[in-house]
Structure 1
């Protein structure tokens, strides 16, 4: 396939990426390369044992295992207090979006270097984006201050990721690639990466569902997630991410699962305004059209299909719509209140996506 190339801007991000099974053993060498010896190791309570294993070789390591979904400010304040108390000279995060988000929040306030070991397919590890929740509202910003210096992709760390979380996290990664394909500042490099990310994840996730401990499938999914996250870091996201940030921050819905529910609906909403993106998505999925292909993939994997199932109250749709319409992200189709309300209602009920208003 030959791509039509027009004028564009491409800005590479300066992260060091280490990819391969067993590469978590490189943490000590990477700390030494950064000139650090007193790491604050960040994880969630459920993944505390992973943090303890990382901390074991270091005499002056401190473990903080209270990372929380959507990076609430009160948790960040406690982590900052622990950072100062321990005189930490770097942050090492192991986990998914909660751990990585907290690591970024610490870096934003302290400028400490970060080493990140992802255990999910969230993609946040390769982006200069941080989302923080204060006063019940999640806000995001882009700043190079939060971009981790080193990312270590060790596929073995994803083997214990439960199937339901693997599926939701993988669909979240696909969402990064999907929105990169119609981003206002897209370029040929990110578009190639995005399509490859969708194709890799769409192939890997059914194999993981069939054989959850398959190293080959997990490696392909991690590769796809890296590509999708890299796209997320280099170009702007659109309506899908705006909606998911609103729903997650306002109703405390799980991040990856919210992406899994909303993705096909937003793609259907944008379909007529982004035909080239729809062609790329459908080609990557080997389906007739993008939105039904994404919906069918999610359904076949047993992913959640309704906001109701995630715990969102039906009465919250109007409030969500109000927040989505406020300070809208760049998007190929302008936000239209009536169409968006219909879309949110369909997503709440778990109905298939529809392109008609």
Structure 2
């Protein structure tokens, strides 16, 4: 087989340091020579940052973090950074906190250190998002890629199981979309397949019976690989639909991805037999669809969009908006009819 492709690798420093988040962020603050640090922290992560000031000075705490980065919330954070003469942002939380930091960086070019407390993966991409007038816009800009990511598995030990599952499946969606997105290439595939292996190994370990960090560390590792692959390969059918459902209908990000994933995989797998076979091997299953089904059953994944606020009456608008966003390079042709059937099944929880 002739190799003919161009791969773009993003420049980023990655630190895995269980139990050392504050100290390692402090090291990065010193390394970057920052003097005016803004910490963006979500409400769920507020107790995880109480020791930050022991390791570096904080000029501004910013706690207004909202899902899907509404424009007015982003504008207030940008204004706060400018008034505070901030020269470094530290984000602590899930994808919403990272997303808000990116919104500030997009306008101000201030660098970011990201400390994730879910498996969202936004910290490893140069993708930004902003919701305005019930429409979520996304784009890419290297200025929003965090300069450093600090992964501390101990910060995730209290992550509710249902959120951990949905967030981990969101990471898995990054892997699977990377196998056929517009800029898919052999390097992205290698990263994505290793991400599938790590997530398939780590996610079932999460829960009351997991008295160590191995499951969390495997899942964080897989989520990072997934995000790196996704950042290079680009957004495919799965993420285009998910952004419509989140931005227009206000559905929660991680749960939406978790519910959509089996439907998108089953839809596209016949169009990419080689990729499907490699994903099946990564899942240690006969088929990729079977491997994902087994994993979802093992972790108790959510199954119906109707359970998170989406109704059958919303389907026509979602189809209209999604059709114009799904790449023409998608492995299988997407029509109004088959997309309506897919979203109907996902709404009602009918598994493929």
TM-score by length of 2: 0.95
Equivalents in 2 of 1:55, 1:245: separation in Å? Answer: 36
Query: Distance between the aligned counterparts of 1:332 and 1:184, measured in 2?
Result: 10
Aligned-residue Cα RMSD (Å) equals: 1.5
Q: CA 1:295–1:250 in 2, change beyond 3 Å: closer, same or farther?
A: farther
Which of 111, 132, 135 lines up with 2:133 in the alignment? 135
Please say if 1:304 is aligned against 2:305. Answer: no
Partner of 1:156: 154
Report the equivalent of 1:342: 341
Do the aligned residues in 2 keep the contact of 1:131 with 1:138 (CA within 8 Å)? yes
Cα deviation, residue 93, structure 1 = 0.3
For 1:352, the equivalent position in structure 2 comes to 351
Query: C-alpha displacement at 1:22, in angstroms?
Result: 2.5
Q: Provide Cα deviations, 1:162-208, integer angstroms capped at 9, x if missing partner.
A: 11111111101011011111223222221111111001101111111
The one of 221, 224, 230 equivalent to 1:223 is 221
Query: Alpha-carbon deviation of 1:20?
Result: 2.3
C-alpha displacement of 1:45? 2.1
Following superposition, the deviation at residue 23 of structure 1 comes to: 3.3
Stretches of structure 1 lacking an aligned partner (at least 5 in a row):
none
Counterpart of 1:21 (choices 18, 21, 30) is 18
* Aligned-residue offset at 1:69: 0.8
Match of 1:90 among 84, 88, 91: 88
SS at 1:151 equivalent: strand
Residue in 2 that maps onto 1:272 = 270
CA distance in 2, matches of 1:227, 1:242: 20
Contact 2:118 2:159 in 1 (8 A): yes
Alpha-carbon displacement from aligned partner over 1:184-235 (angstroms, at most 9, x marks no partner): 3222221111111001101111111363442111111111111001111111
Deviates more, 1:271-280 or 1:135-144: 271-280
**Residue 46 of structure 1 pairs with residue 44 of structure 2:** yes
Matched residue, 1:190: 188
**Preserved CA contact (<8 Å) 2:172 2:196:** yes
Whether contact under 8 Å (2:306, 2:348) holds in the other structure is yes
Segment drifting more, 97-106 vs 80-89: 80-89
Count the aligned residue pairs. Answer: 350
- The aligned residue for residue 7 of structure 1 is 4
Question: What is the alpha-carbon distance in structure 2 between the residues aligned to residue 60 and residue 282 of structure 1?
Answer: 47
Please say if residues 159 and 213 of structure 1, whose CA atoms lie closer than 8 Å, have aligned partners that are also in contact: no
Aligned runs of 1:69-218 on 2, under 5 Å? 69-209=67-207, 211-218=209-216
Give the Cα separation in 1 of the matches to 2:2 and 2:207.
37
Q: Which of 172-181 and 327-336 deviates more?
A: 327-336
Q: TM-score w.r.t. structure 1 length?
A: 0.94
Kept after mapping to 2: 8 A contact 1:41/1:51: no
CA pair 82-212 structure 1, distance change in 2 beyond 3 A:
farther
